[in-house]
Amino acid sequence: MIKKHIIEKNTVKKFDELGILIVMIALFIFLSIASPFFLKIENIQNLLLQSVFVMLVGFGMMFVLTIGGIDLSVGSILGYSGAVTGMIIASGGNIFLGILAGLGTGAAFGLANGLLITKLKIAPFLVTFAMQSVVRGILLLSTTNGAVSGFAAEEFTYLAQGYFLGLPIPVVITVIVFVILLFLFKFTSFGRNVTAIGSNREASFLSGVSCDKITIGVYMLSGLLAALSGILLAARLTAVQSEMGSGYEMDAIAAAVIGGTSMAGGKGSIIGAIIGAVILGMISNGLDLLSVNQFYRQIIVGAIIIIAVALERFTSLKKERV
């Protein structure tokens, strides 16, 4: 009976991924017809670059949502982690040390989120909303005298501006991260426990799963991936403004939800998060090419989130009745 349930669940997930893949292809075809510039190699490369920064944060958000949580602090963590790396390199520090410090900063804030949620039993929304404000405040203090800059060393900027086999380096890094996370989510006990906790936390606890440890690990992973995105974005922009990363939390949620991850927990898709991020990138890129105000993007993304959540909820209720 359990085996049958797992097979049915995997089949539903495949149909979800196929559905959003069809949406992505339809959008691709529409933009190819609507704009003669869309299919140009330079534009496709730019589209991929626009997508990967959201994609990396979206991967972490997928894990968080699957466990039944939410992380509103990722945008601020992204910005401050990039600033930490930039400040260390600008002060003459080792590039590798700067990157490690940036990644460590993201993981540390993720650890703080996880500990506050599990040990003090505070709702994830409240914890991460407060952390968003705290980290953004620290970034504002760090940029009081202007943007963090002076770290445009060739070895560092290559991470975001270089190419490997014709692909931008951030895309290559994202592919590597995707493979690692796909293995982690699908073929390890950690990934299975993430889904199990999101489906039924109490049952998972009674089955011997260390729910608190898994939750802390998920939030650390979310912070780490936000930091990686922030470091790559800093390397691309060669400066960190006080508002860098602002709004990325909503884009990450949108990428994950569009990709089939349930905001109620218990269901997630790494592949879906990729497709969701690419769809968001195509919407933004298409609006630019068609000379449409980017403010419409916020309306479109908000509407897509509502529709995706409504559809997911509708199908869940339908399955419950059956």
pLDDT at position 321 over 70: no
Mean pLDDT of 62-76: 97
Question: Which class is 16-27+35-321 in CATH?
Answer: mainly alpha
Position 125, amino acid: F
Burial class of residue 220 in the structure, from the number of CB atoms within 10 Å of its CB (0-12 exposed, 13-18 middle, 19+ buried):
buried
Mean pLDDT of 229-244: 95
pLDDT at position 196 over 90: yes
269 with 261: CB under 8 angstroms? yes
Longest alpha-carbon distance in the chain: 64
pTM (2 decimals)?
0.90
Distance, in Å, from the CA atom of 145 to the CA atom of 90, rounded to the nearest integer, reads: 15
pLDDT in tens, 7-41: 445 545 555 667 788 888 998 999 999 999 999 98
- Taking the CA atoms of residue 29, residue 32, residue 35 and residue 40 in that order, the dihedral angle to the nearest 10 degrees is 150
pLDDT in tens, 126-180: 999 999 999 999 999 999 988 999 998 889 999 999 988 878 899 999 999 999 9
pLDDT in tens, 251-279: 999 999 999 898 889 999 999 999 999 99
pLDDT at position 76 over 60: yes
Domain boundaries, the chain: 16-27+35-321
- Taking the CA atoms of residue 54, residue 84, residue 178 and residue 262 in that order, the dihedral angle to the nearest 10 degrees is -50
Position 120, amino acid: L
Contacts of 87 by beta carbon, 8 Å cutoff, 6+ apart: 98, 142, 148, 151
Report residue 298 as tokens.
């916020």
177 with 185: CB under 8 angstroms? no
CA torsion sign, 239 to 245 to 246 to 248?
A: positive
